[in-house]
Structure 1
Amino acid sequence: MALAQQSEGLKAGVAEPFPLSLERELGAVVHDHGTQFSIWAPSAKSVTLRFFTKGSSMEDGDVMVGTHQPELQSDGAWTIHFDENLHGTYYDYLVEQQDGNLVRTADPWAKGAGVNGRRSMVVDLARTDPAGWEHDEHPTTPLGETMVAEMHVASFSANPHGGFPLEHCGKYLAFTDLGTTVDGKGKFPTGIDYFKQLGVTAIQLLPFYDYGSVDENDPRQYNWGYDPLNYNVPEGSYSTDPFDGTVRITECKQMIQSLHAQGFKVIMDVVYNHMYTADNWFERVVPGYFVRRNADGTLSNGSGCGDDMASERAMMRCYIVDSVTYWAREYHIDGFRFDLMGLIDTDTMNAVRRSLDALPGGKDLIMYGEPWAAGPSSTLPGTELANKEGLHLLDPRIGHFCDRTRDAIKGHVFEHQIKGYVNGNAHDTRPQIELAVDAWRAPETNEGNAGQIIQYVSAHDDWTLWDKLCLSMIGDGSPESANKAESEYADDSHRTLESRDDALERAYRAEPGPQTHKVLEANTLAVGLIYTAAGIPFMLAGEEFGKTKFGNDNSFNSGVKVNELDWARAERMQGLVDYYRRLIAVRRANPSLFDAEHIAVEAPGNAVAYRSDDVAVLVNPDDEEYSLPVERIDSAFADSLHDDLPEAPESASHAEERWVCVLDSSGTSTGEFRQTGMRIAGGRFPMPARTLSIWKRER
């Protein structure tokens, strides 16, 4: 490992059972004088290095072309040096433990791999750089203008209406295709052009390290990728040739290079809390060290995947720090999203932050994660985990997803019938919304600074926003609600009634109808709250056109058809897409929305109103129309922030002339927005039923 300058900070607070290799670069390293192999296996009796002509035994011409015996060093690493550059050589290890147990393993520290990742590959990284890679730079978008869209590499371009070259569909290279349009007709943009026009500034990609749950040679297979196999190797199924270990590396870099050229930051979803199987490379190399165990010797399962990685162990901590730093340095990654961060200890997370900070421009790299776990995890004594209870121990530049905002807006994440502010439970959730838009910075709920809060209402897991709204608003399964849904979808010409399932199906498809319209209205309120709240706004790609999985709340292996971005639907839902685009534009034009105080003022009914600097937001989830006096917004702001209003009170007419409507959600279904400079009349802000409006105060 190459972290000598941080080795003291990487040591665990408990006694380590083996000598540590914190200062050696492990793996297969190509340098000016040859190739060095190093693997940390301090408990092994012997280690054998094997070379192959191919990356898997299934390939024609696969031959083992040599075996070699590394030597054990004082730090527990087994090493061997070759004078030649062995770039492209495939290899694995045979590790014999003291009890005579012999296992085959790939190299956990490898930077390259063959098809399906069962053999490692030596990589001369300089040979994998695409043309112009040395000039690739991180986008300089400030944190306050970061607009994150989450997507899956294959889902991005798999839809047949996307207009991508066939050979790029589902691949890294689809992110290099510019000028794509729906069905290639040149009318509605898709791909990178689409997200650039939308105003997104950061692309968060579901895991694209090498994962174990798909056969890389079978394009029909699909998985989200939360099954790590080789942490430091790109996934092969997204490359045009998974059998050549260099292709995936080069094409992954090309994807990142293209995104950077279009101004997007690239945020990598990383999963260091568990691996694909408990029988992973780490466990084969050093049994019992890298994976947490309960007191009875069984595997800890806080991840729900059967094998929690022991980040508090010095060598696992060092591995995580090195791995993240490697991706940032070699692949120019701009940020990292930590899956189930609540299973990683706070010392490790802070060590990652320090390591990134030490890189050129590293302090601008983004870090955030999920501050929860699937269950309890058995850690070593003294371990503090980066869950909600441990957030105060994290560097203030490590952020976290705010599930309280999510659930306040749309209701319980796992119970479809439990509603939130926008879909039928505004009375109970209104106080939470007023806290949420200020990033929960009230003393009794303080979650940190605004830059630490990821504000979102949907992500890849659980129901999409559209599906949650459909499920919660089109009946709850009771006879009464089913009858109501049926009657609202009655066919007046034939007087027939649809079942609730039929009504849901139509709503999922966003077919015209009163229920679909209500879902659309709720969607506009939900996202309007996210993009006007303090914090970093985040969305699931496709949310902006009512992405549906037809009620599937866990589509990790449901196939690309369920998960893909439906570009034809995006074109059909242009009104909603345009609303998102306008929202993002307002957000980017008013950076105070990121971290300035959001002051809530008294509003009628279940409505909420808040002001941040010169922006006022009015949200009315009720079926009744309201209005709000201008002076209520102005005086609340002046009292709280000592705004530079004139000492003498303004006349009502002068005060109202200062406020201009910049966005109103009421035109979403038609795309005809009332945002052409409408001003207040009669000294009161209008608050139409089931709408959100944003107003700008001129100075």
Structure 2
Amino acid sequence: MLDADLTKATAHWIDRATLAWRGATSSSSRYALAYSPKADIEFEAGDLTGDIHLIRLAPGALTGPQQDKWPHLKDYGALTVDPEDAGLVKTALQAQLVATERTPSGGLLTATGVQIPGVLDDVYAPATSSRLGPTGGALPTLSVWAPTARKVELKLQHEIVRMRRDDTTGVWSVTGPPSWYGRYYTYLVTVVAAGTLVTNEVTDPYSLSVSADGGRSQLIRLDSVKPPGWDDLVKPPPVRQDRASIYELHVRDFSASDPTVPAAERGTYRAFTGDGHGMRELRRLAADGLTHVHLLPVFDFATVPERRADRTEPAGDLASMPADSERQQAHVTATAAGDSFNWGYDPLHYTVPEGSYATDPEGSGRVAEFRGMVKGLNDAGLRVVMDVVYNHTHAAGQAEGSVLDRIVPGYYHRLLADGAVADSTCCANTAPEHAMMGKLVVDSVVTWAKAYKIDGFRFDLMGHHQKAGMLAVRRALDALTPARDGVDGRAVLLYGEGWNFGEVAGDARFVQATQGNLAGTGIGTFSDRLRDAVRGGGPFDADPGVRGFGSGLADSPGPELANAEELIMIGLTGNLRDYVLPSGKKGSEVSYNGSPAGYAATPRDTVSYVDAHDNETLYDALAYKLPPATSMADRVRMQSLSLATVLLSQGTAFLHAGSERLRSKSLDRNSYDSGDWFNRLLWDCAQGNGFGAGLPPKPGNEARWPYARPLLADPALRADCAAINAARARFGELLRIRYSSPAFGLGSLAEIQDRLTFPAAAIPGVITMCLDATGIDPRWKSITVVFNATSRSGQPAVAGLAGASLTLHPVQAASGDAVVRRSAFDGTTGTFTVPARTVSVFVRPGN
């Protein structure tokens, strides 16, 4: 049966000598690689036509090492390149390729396109040592990897300059005079794409600066674009990863609604260099102990017009509309494609600052302003983490906004069995497992760390990366030294989303950078275990009212509560797989939806959180889940208790900006394109907390409108200054407690198993954690934390503390919260008394 479809690519050229062939090969068939330098092969009248040249192929079998390297192809047949045709490989790679199977008499049986990443990695392996992009000192050099291109030229504004190809690496390069600096450029790449010979005008994947909206690259020297004081920048002291507390913040959210920031600087990098409400609050948070600010994507992304004049903001007086109205979201969604807001998970240029956050997006000014932001945060006592999105691009193929694929078509993206680009990440998935995509990731991260003094990287959908690739990033960072590079790379944090899904799930193509696989590496992964146990349910529940330990479940004893408490106890240890609970269960033996709950080997492996930019804010989740009659004062208490499970745990503590202020997005569960209105971060409590801003945008939220409407209409759920200030005060106290003792950062399984216990007899809804601080804390012999999530006073007893003298932690003894100050300890019986919906911390003097 004839199978000829040149729009698909089901053959995989995995190295210079081997093609993997879908299905069994036949000794009676004739196989070949047909290639056409003219790119004119077509299928007509039952056969191929065009300027066809052949590389002969012989049936064979994939070797064990080949099957190990390409596990998703392990059941494929193999075709071996005839040794006499080996010299044609590089020529064929610059041509249109079709793999064919014919009958002994020459009749066509199969014709399909060919996937080439494997053979490119093999043939051009030396390219991984090349320096790409703009380099050089007095004389600038530009280099681009384009091994399949026939010709690459530099378009330097209106001047066309020839580039030289290195045949060993496939890198094209050119060196020019100093006058090139500051000029804009693109590459003209003549290459076969989708079976057609084209000349693409495309920007540099290694761009360091670009024009507004990224249409052209700009040749700059990073060392000449600096804000005042950059060379003398003094960073806050480094923090061990498991001791870090990280505040997740969006650049535009930070100041877009802040009237104390000059209008021209709202929503920009410059807001971090002034003295608006937001910067004052960040300085206060740093004084409380906060260590890092994590910035949502700040690389050049494709989804916001970079010139302010090109944007269209929502019309109408949104603030005057009813709290449960559909009108606000209608106005916001009408302009969403062209307004000033997007989360930014749509990469265009990986190593260029985003231009919409600059007061002038044209060229290198964004570089200086970005560095100014870093300096402003460092001066406030905070280190800076970047959210990076190397797992996908905004576009692929010949589409507008595609960069990588228009230089080396079919290489940088992960392809499915038929040659289609995988999109399980909701965009065109990249393939960091391919050598030069992996190199781009490492080179980009190192540039951000060295040139912008970035202190940490959060990898979006890290499970779509190889574990080996993430370890390569870690090694590259660790190699950076203050003397040579101006940065201590060992102090740079590295963490990300270790989710396991899509075409790579279950290590289908490589060993993934997922939660369990990264155990012991010190590369952190977000723990959904603690999150779901505290909040209740999961992010994809049809019913948002499913309760957890922090949202009302504590008053309903039973197996569900017991499991949530086990998940939280393991979470408090840093989600350690080998920690043994009082029940005798290891962390890995506790169930999380049927999977092992504990997966970490050390607390550095875990990032604990209860809310983030994804899904509803913690306040909004509690609005759905807590009993409707819950008072605002008790909502504040449950917000604080939920955050305490993060701040008082071992491992990295991760906080969503504004959660300390009861931040609401008016129940929006996916605000990536919901405009400034639903994403407001309000620093002035008189403005409220964002709740009751109208029904959240219809896309992604409409199914929950029946749940949301009565809540948004309830004025009792709109936080006032008393509630917001109380929540912020309790948050600051928790931060100060976290950093008051090294016992909250024990660092290893052995120390945690030895020093962290849950000794109290089980009381449903109450968790008691004891930390032995003997020999590590100069003030205290032990610290005991009681989490009482119930609506009644809790009285857990710890027999081992009978006869001891414990007092409320000094921070809480001086708290403005009269309720926590009522907490007590009876030394005669070792019994604690902790008020309802309260976290109390007790210390035992000694040492």
Same fold (TM over 0.5): yes
State the shift of 1:564 in Å.
2.5
* Paired position in structure 2 for 1:466: 619
* Paired position in structure 2 for 1:450: 603
State the shift of 1:626 in Å.
2.5
Aligned equivalents of 2:268, 2:821: Cα separation in 1: 39
Aligned equivalents of 1:383, 1:152: Cα separation in 2: 33
The Cα offsets for residues 488-516 of structure 1, whole Å up to 9 and x where unpaired, read as 4xxxxxxxxxxxxxxxxxxxxxxxxx443
Asked if structure 1 preserves the Cα contact closer than 8 Å seen for 2:252 and 2:268, the reply is yes
State the shift of 1:123 in Å.
0.8
Amino acid at match of 2:569: E
Aligned counterpart in structure 2 of residue 419 of structure 1, from 547, 550, 558: 547
State the shift of 1:111 in Å.
0.8
Q: SS of the residue aligned with 1:150?
A: strand
Aligned counterpart in structure 1 of residue 155 of structure 2, from 43, 50, 64: 50
Closer, same or farther: CA 25–675 of 1 in aligned 2, 3 Å:
farther
Asked if structure 2 preserves the Cα contact closer than 8 Å seen for 1:109 and 1:232, the reply is yes
Q: SS of the residue aligned with 2:152?
A: strand
1:624-639 to structure 2, matched below 5 A, reads 624-632=792-800, 634=801
* Paired position in structure 2 for 1:232: 351
State the shift of 1:139 in Å.
2.4
1:677-688 to structure 2, matched below 5 A, reads 680=826, 683=829, 684-688=831-835
Aligned equivalents of 2:643, 2:385: Cα separation in 1: 21
The 10-residue stretch of structure 1 (560-569 or 104-113) with the greater mean CA deviation from structure 2: 560-569
Aligned equivalents of 2:137, 2:795: Cα separation in 1: 70
Aligned counterpart in structure 2 of residue 334 of structure 1, from 452, 455, 475: 455
State the shift of 1:331 in Å.
0.4
Aligned equivalents of 1:380, 1:623: Cα separation in 2: 45
Aligned equivalents of 1:128, 1:402: Cα separation in 2: 39
TM-score (norm 2): 0.68
Asked if structure 2 preserves the Cα contact closer than 8 Å seen for 1:42 and 1:77, the reply is yes
Extract unaligned runs of 5+ from structure 2: 1-67, 71-117, 312-338, 482-487, 580-585, 589-597, 690-720, 773-781
Aligned equivalents of 1:379, 1:692: Cα separation in 2: 39
Closer, same or farther: CA 349–299 of 1 in aligned 2, 3 Å:
same
* Paired position in structure 1 for 2:382: 264
Q: SS of the residue aligned with 2:796?
A: strand
State the shift of 1:70 in Å.
0.7
Aligned equivalents of 1:471, 1:630: Cα separation in 2: 35
State the shift of 1:71 in Å.
1.6
Asked if structure 2 preserves the Cα contact closer than 8 Å seen for 1:312 and 1:379, the reply is no
* Paired position in structure 1 for 2:643: 527
Asked if structure 2 preserves the Cα contact closer than 8 Å seen for 1:139 and 1:265, the reply is yes
* Paired position in structure 2 for 1:297: 419
* Paired position in structure 2 for 1:155: 253
Aligned equivalents of 1:205, 1:226: Cα separation in 2: 12
1:102-251 to structure 2, matched below 5 A, reads 102-143=199-240, 144-161=242-259, 163-178=260-275, 180-181=276-277, 190-218=280-308, 220-243=339-362, 245-251=363-369
Aligned equivalents of 2:573, 2:281: Cα separation in 1: 33
Aligned counterpart in structure 2 of residue 547 of structure 1, from 639, 656, 663: 663
Closer, same or farther: CA 407–234 of 1 in aligned 2, 3 Å:
same
Closer, same or farther: CA 348–315 of 1 in aligned 2, 3 Å:
same
1:475-486 to structure 2, matched below 5 A, reads 485=628
* Paired position in structure 2 for 1:56: none
* Paired position in structure 1 for 2:82: none
Q: SS of the residue aligned with 2:228?
A: coil
Asked if structure 2 preserves the Cα contact closer than 8 Å seen for 1:619 and 1:693, the reply is yes
* Paired position in structure 2 for 1:66: 159
1:594-673 to structure 2, matched below 5 A, reads 594-595=745-746, 596-597=751-752, 598-601=756-759, 602-613=761-772, 614-632=782-800, 634=801, 652=802, 654-655=803-804, 657-662=805-810, 671-672=817-818
State the shift of 1:266 in Å.
0.4
The Cα offsets for residues 468-499 of structure 1, whole Å up to 9 and x where unpaired, read as 1101225xxxxxxxxxx4xx4xxxxxxxxxxx
Matched, 1:371 2:498: yes
Asked if structure 2 preserves the Cα contact closer than 8 Å seen for 1:206 and 1:269, the reply is yes
1:499-538 to structure 2, matched below 5 A, reads 514-538=630-654
Amino acid at match of 2:639: N
Aligned equivalents of 2:619, 2:435: Cα separation in 1: 44
State the shift of 1:418 in Å.
2.0
Amino acid at match of 2:255: S
Closer, same or farther: CA 440–28 of 1 in aligned 2, 3 Å:
closer
The 10-residue stretch of structure 1 (193-202 or 574-583) with the greater mean CA deviation from structure 2: 193-202
* Paired position in structure 2 for 1:568: 684
State the shift of 1:197 in Å.
4.0
State the shift of 1:290 in Å.
0.5
- When the two chains are superposed, the root-mean-square deviation of aligned CA atoms in Å is 2.4
* Paired position in structure 2 for 1:508: none
Amino acid at match of 1:301: D
Aligned equivalents of 2:215, 2:819: Cα separation in 1: 55
Aligned equivalents of 2:832, 2:303: Cα separation in 1: 54
Aligned equivalents of 2:349, 2:540: Cα separation in 1: 32
Amino acid at match of 2:832: F
State the shift of 1:142 in Å.
2.4
Aligned equivalents of 1:286, 1:380: Cα separation in 2: 26
Aligned equivalents of 1:404, 1:85: Cα separation in 2: 56
* Paired position in structure 2 for 1:82: 176
Aligned equivalents of 2:248, 2:432: Cα separation in 1: 26
Aligned equivalents of 2:640, 2:509: Cα separation in 1: 46
Extract unaligned runs of 5+ from structure 1: 1-11, 53-64, 183-188, 475-484, 489-513, 635-651
Q: Considering only CA atoms, is the larger Rg found in Structure 1 or Structure 2? A: 2
Aligned equivalents of 2:823, 2:535: Cα separation in 1: 31
Aligned counterpart in structure 1 of residue 191 of structure 2, from 94, 97, 117: 97
Q: SS of the residue aligned with 1:230?
A: strand
Amino acid at match of 2:546: I
* Paired position in structure 2 for 1:6: none
State the shift of 1:141 in Å.
3.5
Asked if structure 2 preserves the Cα contact closer than 8 Å seen for 1:93 and 1:104, the reply is yes
The Cα offsets for residues 497-543 of structure 1, whole Å up to 9 and x where unpaired, read as xxxxxxxxxxxxxxxxx443332222121011111111111100100
The Cα offsets for residues 357-412 of structure 1, whole Å up to 9 and x where unpaired, read as 000121111100100156334999852111234224xx622111111111111112
Aligned equivalents of 1:13, 1:281: Cα separation in 2: 28
State the shift of 1:687 in Å.
2.2
Asked if structure 1 preserves the Cα contact closer than 8 Å seen for 2:273 and 2:373, the reply is yes
Aligned equivalents of 1:191, 1:36: Cα separation in 2: 44
Q: SS of the residue aligned with 1:547?
A: coil
Matched, 1:434 2:569: yes
Amino acid at match of 1:199: G
Aligned equivalents of 1:381, 1:625: Cα separation in 2: 51
Runs of 4+, deviation exceeding 6 Å:
378-381
The Cα offsets for residues 523-576 of structure 1, whole Å up to 9 and x where unpaired, read as 121011111111111100100011000110000010012112111237551111
Matched, 1:310 2:428: no
The Cα offsets for residues 195-217 of structure 1, whole Å up to 9 and x where unpaired, read as 33443110000010000011011
The 10-residue stretch of structure 1 (333-342 or 295-304) with the greater mean CA deviation from structure 2: 295-304
The Cα offsets for residues 307-340 of structure 1, whole Å up to 9 and x where unpaired, read as 1111110101111011101100110000100000
The Cα offsets for residues 237-287 of structure 1, whole Å up to 9 and x where unpaired, read as 1111012x1110001001111211222110010000001112421100000
Aligned equivalents of 1:449, 1:354: Cα separation in 2: 19
Q: SS of the residue aligned with 2:392?
A: coil
TM-score (norm 1): 0.82
Aligned equivalents of 1:437, 1:542: Cα separation in 2: 23
